[in-house]
Amino acid sequence: MKRKEFLKACSLFGLSLPFQKLIVAEEWIKESATPFKGKVLVIGAGAAGLAATYYLKQRGITADLLEASDTIGGRMKVDRNFTDFPLPLGAEWLESKPTVFDTLVNDEEEKIALQLVADEPDYKFINYSWLQFFEDYILPSIHSQITFQQQVKSIDYSEAKIKVNTQDRIWEADYLILAVPLKVLQANMIQFKPLLPSKKRRLIQEAKIWDGFKAFVKFSKGFYEKDFEFKLQDDQSGQKFIYDATKGQNSKDFIIGVLAMGKAAKAYQGLSEDGLLQKLLTDLDQKFDQQASQHYSAHLVQDWQKEPFIQSGYLSDHADWRKVKQLQASVDDRIFFAGGAFTDGEDWVSVHTAAFSAKQAVDAIVG
Ligand SMILES: Cc1cc2nc3c(=O)[nH]c(=O)nc-3n(C[C@H](O)[C@H](O)[C@H](O)COP(=O)(O)OP(=O)(O)OC[C@H]3O[C@@H](n4cnc5c(N)ncnc54)[C@H](O)[C@@H]3O)c2cc1C
């Protein structure tokens, strides 16, 4: 019996709180002495799935991690060719304090000091990225546990063992940590047997997930104020920012970043790559006195809707936190959810909270 279940049982039998605490303490000691026996399977090697596998490993549990694509990182994707620093195509800012790295790594022997530049209210990595952080600190101990090109297509939890089907294999587990994007569930890309509970299905379908893209446009000269950032839109319908993407990087390049989500991205969707570039340049020309087209030299677009196993940007920043909290709830105490949209409802759509949600799933499973 897990700690949570034990407490529930105590209240059912009317045992007083001090008495509960006494028994829990004893039960707790007994539990720590009993090694966890179940098999855990983690699905999705983005921030949440990697973190879940890592935290399980720290608890002595070697879980298999299945990833549909042929690489790790998901929405931490980075381009290493476009310019002279790693260009973040998804997560770019540290939306927390730098001490969060030590919390994430959760190892007293590691003291992590990364080079960051303040970008109020956040931080940016200098010549580094979220992906690199995971490659340096999380991946090494779990690398051999990842199987790539394993797209989970169905999950059968109708019997004691959970059966997980990919295109070419059946995996069995006692517990699952599902760390796939919410959109993958919304689009029914994974079939469940039995169906997920109706409340869970309703919450998944009602969640407002924004599509969107990031674009980087390189110029032959800097015709704009260094380190500028304009918030063109940030409301219920979507977000749009343009900014000096080289901030803090010591780069020799001049690059403007554009992030558009939700309604703000709609005007660009459906355009050809050339059409999208022309629209971006027209927008930037208006903002910067017709200079953008004149000094254009290259561009790079990451359309998140087109990523086959992600298919979206992120859960709306304006989602109702109570519903976000409910989204995280486990099913049958065997299927646990972790990731950008499955946080505890305090914060979401960031890398560190995706990893924290994985820690919560691991704690719930292992006790
Ligand atoms: C444009 C953009 C900008 C962002 N900016 C920031 C930022 O500045 N700072 C910040 O902290 N966060 C930012 N975020 C949010 C952050 O990137 C995400 O919250 C976080 O990376 C999500 O991690 P995840 O593990 O939940 O999901 P993902 O990173 O999406 O990983 C999910 C993984 O599951 C795999 N998968 C999907 N389906 C299956 C299947 N059926 N079987 C097996 N594997 C599957 C996918 O291939 C993927 O690898 C941004 C996101 C975007 C899109």
pLDDT along the chain (367 residues), means of 10: 40 44 43 76 98 97 98 98 98 96 95 94 97 98 98 98 97 98 97 97 95 97 96 93 96 98 93 94 96 98 96 91 90 96 84 96 95
pLDDT digits (tens, 9 = 90+) for 92-101: 999 999 999 9
Q: How far is CA 335 from the centre of its chain?
A: 18
Distance CA 174, CA 157 (A): 9
Q: Which atom of ligand 1 is nearest to the CA of 92?
A: 8
Considering the entire predicted model, what is its pTM?
A: 0.91
For 3, 15, 21, 33, the CA distances from 25, given in Å and listed in that order, are 10, 15, 6, 13
CA of 51 to the centre of ligand 1 (A): 12
Dist CA 192 CA 185 (whole Å): 10
User: Residue 25 C-alpha to ligand 1 middle, in angstroms?
Assistant: 38
Residue 322: what pLDDT? 87
CA of 26 relative to ligand 1 center, distance in Å:
40
CA-CA distance, 242 to 256, in Å (whole number)? 7
Ligand 1 neighbourhood includes 257 CB (under 6 angstroms): no
Which of ligand 1's atoms lies nearest the C-alpha of 357? 26
Measured in angstroms, how far is the CA atom of residue 261 from the centroid of ligand 1?
Answer: 15
pLDDT of residue 5: 42
Q: Return phi, psi of residue 327, to 5°.
A: -60, -30
Whether 279 contacts 217, CB under 8 Å:
no
Q: Nearest residue CA, atom 49 of ligand 1? A: 74
> Side chain identity at 314, as an amino acid letter?
Y
What CA–CA distance (Å, rounded) separates 319 from 345? 10
Ligand 1, atom nearest to 71 Cα: 49
State whether the beta carbon of 90 lies less than 6 angstroms from ligand 1: yes
Q: Alpha carbon 25 to chain centroid distance?
A: 35
Q: Does 66 sit in the ligand 1 pocket, CB within 6 Å?
A: yes
Residue nearest atom 41 in ligand 1 by C-alpha distance? 152
Residue of the CA atom closest to atom 21 of ligand 1: 75
Q: Whose CA is nearest to atom 27 of ligand 1?
A: 46
- CB atoms near residue 16 (< 10 Å): 10
Q: Does residue 362 line the site of ligand 1, with CB under 6 A?
A: no
Collect all residues with Cβ–Cβ distance below 8 Å to 131 and sequence separation of at least 6.
72, 73, 76, 77, 78, 86, 88
Distance 52 CA to ligand 1 centre (A): 14
Q: How far is the CA of 138 from the centre of ligand 1 (A)?
A: 16
Q: Is 340 in the pocket of ligand 1 (CB under 6 A)?
A: yes
Minimum CA distance residue for ligand 1 atom 36: 44
How far apart are the CA of 21 and the centre of ligand 1, in A?
39
Is residue 91 within 6 Å of ligand 1 at its C-beta? yes
The predicted pLDDT at position 98 comes to 96
Q: Please, what is the Cα angle at 88 between 355 and 226, to 5 degrees?
A: 125
pLDDT at 33: 53
